[in-house]
């Protein structure tokens, strides 16, 4: 009986690991590019992207630029699974061919490999990526709130859909630390985003969200770069 239980647990662990590894993973890198090299950013980014696109499991790559600090960028890369993402990250760190770009990064603000947690679309109209403003928040939840966060997120979405200019919200959860999340909230204008932020401070239905948050790691507004 004991042997059967152990085999069952082992099988379930194997199935879970396979399921996790078969999910598409989003790698998010928020970084400050060296000001002295910012004039070369386009050239270095294009070269870096071309090389990254040849790595196993590569799906997609977009870059956003901070509206308030033009040296700060977000790279959002999709990979076929977590093994692909980790392997690519190690390759980029260790191979000389990627260093013209990576050594031009002044500082790393946030980094992680994320799984999709929840997404919500309010505006069904096709708005060009170049015309959207992305509000990006990386934050840590209190450990005891992770299990109930799905319900808290739904309440937040209900508030967002009442706000002018709200397009969509994508929530992702970190692969290594289940308390770390990233929200990418799309707005029609930065003024819409700022207005909603002010309104949220007075919204009682959002108290559970604010109380569940341990800390905000980084927050800013971004526009599509490339």
Domains, the chain, with CATH or none: 22-224 (3.30.70.100)
| Structure confidence by residue, pLDDT tens digits, 183-217 | 999 999 999 999 999 999 999 999 999 999 999 99
In this structure, the number of other CB atoms found within 10 A of the CB of residue 127 comes to 14
CA-nearest of 179, 175, 199, 176 to 187 is: 199
Could you tell me the two tokens for 64? 């956003």
| Structure confidence by residue, pLDDT tens digits, 119-128 | 988 866 667 7
Could you tell me the two tokens for 20? 């996790």
- Vertex 84, ends 80 and 85: CA angle to 5°? 95
Could you tell me the two tokens for 37? 């090299």
| Structure confidence by residue, pLDDT tens digits, 131-153 | 899 999 999 999 999 999 999 99
Contacts of 37 (CB under 8 A, 6+ apart): 44, 104
- Burial zone of 125 (CB within 10 Å; 0-12 exposed, 13-18 middle, 19+ buried): exposed
| Structure confidence by residue, pLDDT tens digits, 68-101 | 999 999 999 999 999 999 999 999 999 999 999 9
**Cα–Cα distance for residue pair 109/95, rounded to 1 Å:** 22
The pLDDT value recorded for residue 128 is 74
Location of structure tokens 């061919």: 97
The pLDDT value recorded for residue 8 is 36
56 φ, ψ (degrees, to nearest 5): -60, 130
């Amino acid at each position: 009986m004991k042997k059967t239980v152990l085999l069952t647990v082992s099988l379930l662990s194997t199935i879970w690991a396979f399921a996790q590894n078969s999910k598409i993973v989003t790698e998010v890198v928020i970084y400050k590019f060296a000001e002295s090299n910012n004039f070369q950013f386009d050239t270095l980014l294009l070269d870096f992207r071309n090389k990254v696109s040849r790595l196993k499991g590569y799906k997609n790559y977009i870059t956003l630029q901070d509206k308030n600090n033009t040296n700060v960028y977000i790279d959002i890369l999709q990979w076929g699974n977590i093994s692909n993402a980790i392997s690519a990250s190690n390759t980029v760190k260790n191979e000389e061919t990627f260093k013209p770009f990576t050594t031009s990064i002044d500082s790393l603000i946030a980094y992680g490999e994320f799984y999709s947690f929840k997404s919500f679309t309010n505006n069904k109209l096709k708005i060009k990526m170049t015309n959207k403003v992305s509000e990006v928040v990386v934050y840590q939840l209190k450990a005891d709130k992770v299990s109930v966060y799905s319900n808290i997120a739904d309440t937040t979405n209900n508030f967002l859909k009442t706000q002018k200019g709200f397009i969509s919200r994508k929530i992702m959860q970190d692969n290594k630390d289940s308390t770390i999340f990233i929200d990418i909230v799309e707005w029609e204008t930065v003024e819409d985003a700022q207005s909603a932020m002010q309104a949220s401070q007075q919204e009682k239905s959002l108290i559970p969200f604010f109380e569940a948050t341990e800390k905000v790691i980084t927050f800013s507004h971004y526009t599509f770069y490339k």
